[in-house]
């Protein structure tokens, strides 16, 4: 029973936080859908903790809980790799913008000088 409460509260909390962030427009749909999907997996586990025992045994994993932990770990790892990739892309974009700003400033300054002469 305690496990049901723990899993249920965690799943609900995740839902509430994500929907609140969406409502305040602080999270784009792209990531919101990802985390809502995680919530959809966690919530049924509250009602049926043995839900994953069948698929776990089919994959050679001793219990459903272990399978959930393993999949959770792989999922988080993938999210981290994705975020690193995303940060890299943003860095490349801001770098290009910084160069553009520098070039534009140099052009306008040169034009101002030649206008004065």
Partner 1 sequence: MINNKRVLIVTPAWNEAGAIYQVIRELRGELPGADVLVVDDGSSDDTARLAHAAGAAVAHLPYNLGVGGAMRLGYRYGRDHDFDVVIQLDADGQHDPRYVPKLVDAIDDADLVIGSRFADRDNDYRVRGPRRWAMRLLAAVISLIAHTRLTDTTSGFRAANRRTIELFAGWYPVEYLGDTVETLVYAARRGFRIRQVPVAMRARIAGAPSHSPIKSMIYLGRAFAILLLALIRR
Burial of 52 (0-12, 13-18, 19+ CB in 10 A): buried
User: Taking CB under 8 A as the rule, does residue 110 contact partner 1?
Assistant: yes
Of 18, 38, 37, the C-alpha closest to 28 is: 18
- Which residue has 């965690």 as its token pair? 10
Residue 111 touching partner 1 (CB under 8 A): no
Cα-atom radius of gyration of the chain, to the nearest Å?
Answer: 24
Residues numbered 47-106 forming contacts with partner 1, rule: CB under 8 A = 95, 98-99, 101-103, 105-106
Number of chain residues interacting with partner 1 (CB under 8 A)? 9
- For the bound state, the minimum distance from the C-beta of residue 85 to partner 1, rounded and expressed in Å, comes to 16
Question: Of 81 and 102, which CB lies nearer to partner 1 in the complex structure?
Answer: 102
C-beta of 83 vs 102, nearer to partner 1: 102
């Amino acid at each position: 029973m305690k496990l049901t409460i723990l899993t249920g509260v965690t799943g609900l909390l995740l839902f509430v936080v994500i929907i609140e962030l969406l409502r305040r427009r602080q999270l784009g749909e792209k990531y919101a859908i990802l985390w809502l999907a995680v919530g959809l997996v966690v919530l049924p586990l509250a009602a049926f903790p043995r839900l994953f025992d069948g698929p776990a045994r089919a994959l050679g994993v001793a219990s459903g809980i272990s399978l959930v932990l393993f999949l959770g770990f792989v999922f988080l790892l993938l999210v981290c790799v994705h975020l690193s990739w995303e940060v890299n892309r943003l860095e490349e974009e801001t770098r290009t913008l910084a160069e553009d700003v520098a070039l534009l400033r140099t052009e306008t300054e040169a034009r101002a000088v030649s206008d004065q002469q």
